[in-house]
Amino acid sequence: MKKIIGTVVLVLILVWIVPWSRINWGRIIWQQAEVVTVNGEARSQEKNQLANYSAGVMAQNMDKNAAITEVNTKMEDLVKSVKDFGINEADIKTQSLSYYQEPKGGQNPGQWQVNNTIEIILRDIDRASDLADLLAKSGANNVYGPNFSMDETNTAEKSLYDAAIKDAKDKAESIATASGKKLGKVISVNDGGNNGNVYPMYAKLDSGMGGGAVTEPGSTTVYKNLTVTFELK
């Protein structure tokens, strides 16, 4: 007990006689690491892999049901011929379906116009001309395409990551050298996505080939952009 009392008395004396206000305790400063942030870019030219078409059938009749029946029949024949060509069912989908009756005062008042259009994706673009021919000779009234593009599941851009990182490192090393520093470790990497620029050549009729459709798939520029932050030493 006497020891406790003695300790308390000593502490009180120190508090009273020591000039605490004159003591410089210093400051704790959090110094942020020096960094440099750059964009790394890489790109490659890739041959397009998909050909997209749209084909529509249209019928006009004063009898709505008759117009619908005609369109359905033509569309069934069209879909069958496309499937027989080798297009998977998953790559054929309805794009639009419409019913329209000519109003009074029109050219054919009361007449119904029925339209049905499907979208077709061809994955073997070496057969793009053949499918264009088939659609041109089918019962379709409106045919558009092919429009060429990259496959969304394509992994071409993945191979660009290494090149984009190297580009960023080269830029960062130049900045570090210019500022009298050395490049350290990577602090962060942000994927800026890609930007694919499509340059297709569309189907055209070549009279010298007996009316066959001549197509060129063109290519897409696959682009990768990374924002990379490096430590400076």
pLDDT digits (tens, 9 = 90+) for 86-120: 999 999 999 999 999 888 877 888 899 999 999 99
pLDDT higher than threshold 80 for residue 141: yes
Burial of 175 (0-12, 13-18, 19+ CB in 10 A): middle
Q: Structurally, what CATH architecture does the domain formed by 34-49+150-233 represent? A: 2-Layer Sandwich (3.30)
- Rounded to whole angstroms, the Cα distance separating 226 from 188 reads 10
pLDDT digits (tens, 9 = 90+) for 146-179: 888 887 655 677 778 889 999 999 999 999 999 8
Q: Where are the domains of the chain?
A: 34-49+150-233, 53-120+128-144
Beta carbons of 120 and 75 less than 8 angstroms apart? no
pLDDT higher than threshold 80 for residue 187: yes
53-120+128-144 CATH choice from 3.40.50.720, 3.30.70.20, 3.30.70.2970, 3.10.310.10 = 3.30.70.2970
- pTM of full prediction above 0.85: no
